[in-house]
Amino acid sequence: MDMKKKSEDFIDQVLSEMTLREKFGQLTQLETVRAEQEEELKEKVRRGEVGSILMSVGATAGNTPQGDINTDFYNELQKIAVEESPHGIPLLFGRDVIHGHRTVYPIPLAMAASFDFDLIRNCYREIAEEAANDSVHWSFAPMLDLSRDPRWGRIIEGYGEDPFVGSQMAKAVVEGLQGNALDEVGSVLACAKHFVGYGAAEGGRDYCHAEISDYGLYNYYLPAFREAIRAGALTVMSSFNDLNGEPISASRYYLTEILRDYLGFNGFVVSDYAAVHQLIRNGVAKDDREATELALNAGVDMDMWDSCYINEGERAVREGRISVETVDRAVKKILRVKLAKGLFTSPYCEKKPIDYASHRESAKALAAKSAVLLKNEGDVLPLNRSAKVLLVGEGATERRSLHGSWALDGKVDETPNFYEAMQEKLPINQLHYDKNCESNITDADVVVVALCEDHYSSGENASISHISITDYEKFILKRAKVLGKKLVGVFFYGRPIAMQGVAEYFDAILYAWHGGCEVARAAADLLFGDCLPCGRLPVTFPRRATHLPLYYNCYSSGHEVNSYYGECLPGCYRDSHASPYYPFGYGLSYSSIRYGSVLCDRAELSVSEIQAGKRFCVSVEVENVGMRDAEETVQLYICDKVAKISRPLRELKSFRKIFLKKGEAVAVSFELGINDLGYYNKKGEFTLEAGDFDVFIGENCLTKNKVTVSLK
């Protein structure tokens, strides 16, 4: 008998012995409780009324400190489930292991800036190893919410504004977390979240209404989820938001017709925290009973935290509002995942030694690759080791915020701050730290300003309308400017900020993000050229917040108001110009890179040839014409110039990270096939149309370096 048949028979057998209440128990996730409530939780587990434990306390775990994980407690809970509950079904332990565990890596938005998805995958192998060693079976990552609005605090948790980058991220994180086999020690179940459209909250206001056309859904918001499912994600989390008036957790259209029927997802869906109960406030349920009926019938298999299912489910079945088949289907999905995770054979966490030092090295490497050099006028960077540096700003002594939001298990006291990192680079007589820039130091060669966004200002429930540096930081900047020295800004920020009125102060800007436990050292390495800046922006940095939303893969207007691409009829705003301050894909190196013309092996192909698998081969020569080695991210964009529906002015379709020694030139080539040139129409059908395509290859989305190919 094959394993699948054996597993199904086992599941059918267990199901046949379960009471309806025990079935709803499997559909219920409760959170870890405070000590005084532990006995009550154990009793519920003993009665088979709990299927999963959320290993945190509180609705916004990402911003509230969670205690250390006590694996003995979780093993004790598991023992009760396995040995005392009616059917011995093991518990599934889930936690928000978003961008690290004990070792904190850069926030996901920063990781995306590295464009190094192999390194990201390796880092998530390490993250999974650490989390699994702490009883975690299931991480609520990757967060795959495309976002175009840095006012939204959770933009830090995603990958920015591009579906191609999102797809690369989804694949890397799912494969990294889940490893080669889910039941292997050190593997953790992934959870593609939040399905769907959460990042399109109006005004960047968390939890709020989102409006997305089906065309936008298929071409921007679904690709990352499609890739996560292809990579083997077996769980999805339904999002808090309503989409076009339909609360996702009550929407059969989105959770069954789109997620399962269209994308082919066959795992289970867990609601977000209390999202079932919240259907009352969403205005689609009168009470928890109706909310339960709506959510389960829509396709939410597991109810996180609010106990709606365990409290209301049996009555809903008795009254015929939920069928037993629906309940059984949900239970089976969850049991299949528990089987796949190996919980029936290895339910307990057995600690093993972990090489945290090497994990920290990976975190530092990723932080260095994620940092983006935004400005470097007069090549003030890299700093000379003989330089005398005046370091100012309270960001230089900050530790916790370097981890960013959603870093539940980071060890702050093991995190060097930037002042300490700079002390590792310079002798005491060459480095003076003056937090408020009060001393009138005149013999410094350069002033380095450390700016840091408080981690509470990003993450969940942390939307900010004024996305800039703080008033205190601006005050320090003005003081530093008066000194008449070169000014270098090191930004330990989570979200992108509006750069007008800020960037002008600096001669050089290194955006190091909330780059994790080793970002301080990585930033110091970059400042002195001990490693080379190579990060590229996965999200647009606007001039002003009032220009938002502003994103590179926008559509062309019939008027000349495509401000992102430099057109500036007054319609772009009469009082300002809504071009990006720093565009998608932007980032500098310590050298100068020259791109040759884009060449193509043929000017045209027929639609049928492309559909048969033929491809265009496009290439470009890239030369390092500067004085230093450099790592360049060569980016390929297309513009489908004429189609049945407006297509974006640019779409990133590929990239290559190349290392160029100074003076070195290489030819970089790409192949363009059907998947690069087609799109999804309003019905979600993949469509390839004849017509001309501009193919751009360059240093960021604003490159004009292109060739035109035609599909006949």
Q: Burial, 74: exposed, middle or buried (Cβ in 10 Å; 0-12, 13-18, 19+)?
A: buried
| Shortest distance (Å) from residue 324 CB to ligand GLC | 29
Rule CB under 6 A: choose which of 130, 227, 293, 460 binds ligand GLC: 460
Nearer to ligand GLC, 158 or 489 (CB): 158
Q: Among 96, 246, 507, 631, indicate the residue that binds ligand GLC (CB under 6 A).
A: 96
Choices 53-61, 101-109, 120-128, 575-583; region in contact with ligand GLC by CB under 6 A = 53-61
Closest to ligand GLC by CB, 273 or 309: 273
CB 480 to ligand GLC: min, Å: 38
Shortest separation between residue 228's beta carbon and ligand GLC, angstroms: 15
Q: For the segment 225-284, give every residue that binds ligand GLC (CB under 6 A).
A: 272-273
Number of residues that bind ligand GLC (CB under 6 A): 10
Find the binding residues for ligand GLC in span 170-229 (CB under 6 A).
Answer: 193
Nearer to ligand GLC, 238 or 700 (CB): 238
CA distance 591 to 610: 38
**Min separation Cβ 643 and ligand GLC, Å:** 36
Q: For ligand GLC, give the closer residue by CB, 461 or 465.
A: 461
Is the Cβ of residue 168 or residue 241 nearer to ligand GLC in the bound state? 241
**DSSP secondary structure of 151-217:** TSGGGGGS--S-HHHHHHHHHHHHHHHH-S-TTSTT--B--EEEETTGGG-GGG-TT--B---HHHI
Residue the block writes with tokens 């989102």: 210
User: Count of CB atoms within 10 A of residue 479's CB?
Assistant: 17
- 276 versus 636: smaller Cβ distance to ligand GLC: 276
Catalytic residue set: 272
Smallest separation, CB 153 to ligand GLC (Å)? 11
Three-state secondary structure call for residue 270: strand
Q: Identify residues 273-292 at the interface with ligand GLC (CB under 6 A).
A: 273
Coil/strand/helix, residue 543: coil
From 56-64, 145-153, 466-474, 608-616, span contacting ligand GLC (CB under 6 A): 56-64
Instruction: Map residues 124-163 to x or -, x wherever contact with ligand GLC holds by CB under 6 A.
Output: ----------------x-----------------------
Give the residue, chosen from 27, 41, 55, 61, that forms a contact with ligand GLC under the rule CB under 6 A. Answer: 61
427 preceded by cis ω (within 30°)?
Answer: no
- 15, 20, 33, 59: residue in contact with ligand GLC (rule CB under 6 A): 59
CA distances from 554 to 35, 219, 243, 530, 692 (A): 52, 12, 20, 38, 18
Task: State yes or no: residue 409 binds ligand GLC (CB under 6 A).
Answer: no
Q: Show the CA angle centred on residue 331, arms to residues 228 and 263, nearest 5°.
A: 25
Amino acid present at 567? E
**Angle in degrees, CA 241, 144, 227, rounded to 5:** 125
Of residues 49, 42, 126, the one with CA closest to residue 80: 42
Q: Which is nearer to ligand GLC, 265 or 586 (CB)?
A: 265
Distance (Å, whole) CA 192 – CA 260 = 13
Interface region with ligand GLC, contact rule CB under 6 A, candidates 15-23, 51-59, 347-355, 560-568: 51-59
Please, which residue, 193 or 547, has the CB nearer to ligand GLC? 193
Name the one range near ligand GLC by CB under 6 A: 54-62, 245-253, 343-351, 557-565. Answer: 54-62
- Calculate the CA 327 to chain-centre distance: 32
CA 576 – CA 10 distance, rounded (Å): 66
Q: Does 56 contact ligand GLC by CB under 6 A?
A: yes
Nearest-approach distance from CB 287 to ligand GLC, in angstroms? 22
Q: How far is the CB of 199 from ligand GLC (least distance, A)?
A: 12
Q: Which two tokens stand for residue 445?
A: 């060669």
Query: Which value, in Å, is the radius of gyration of the alpha carbons in the chain?
Result: 26
Task: Give the number of other CB atoms < 10 A from CB of residue 298.
Answer: 23
Q: Which stretch binds ligand GLC (CB under 6 A): 52-60, 281-289, 348-356, 622-630?
A: 52-60
Buried b (16+ CB within 10 A) or exposed e, 516-526: bbbbbbbbbbb
Beta strand 486-492 with 446-452: parallel, antiparallel or unpaired?
parallel
Q: Which residues pair with 626 in a beta bridge?
A: none
Name 191's Cβ contacts closer than 8 Å, sequence gap at least 6. 94, 138, 139, 140, 141, 233, 235, 236, 237, 270
Q: Residue 56 Cβ, how far from ligand GLC at the closest point, in Å?
A: 5
Would you say 54 or 173 has its CB closer to ligand GLC?
Answer: 54
Minimum distance of ligand GLC from residue 166's CB (angstroms): 16
Which residues of the shown chain bind ligand GLC in the complex (CB under 6 A)? Answer: 54, 56, 59, 61, 96, 140, 193, 272-273, 460
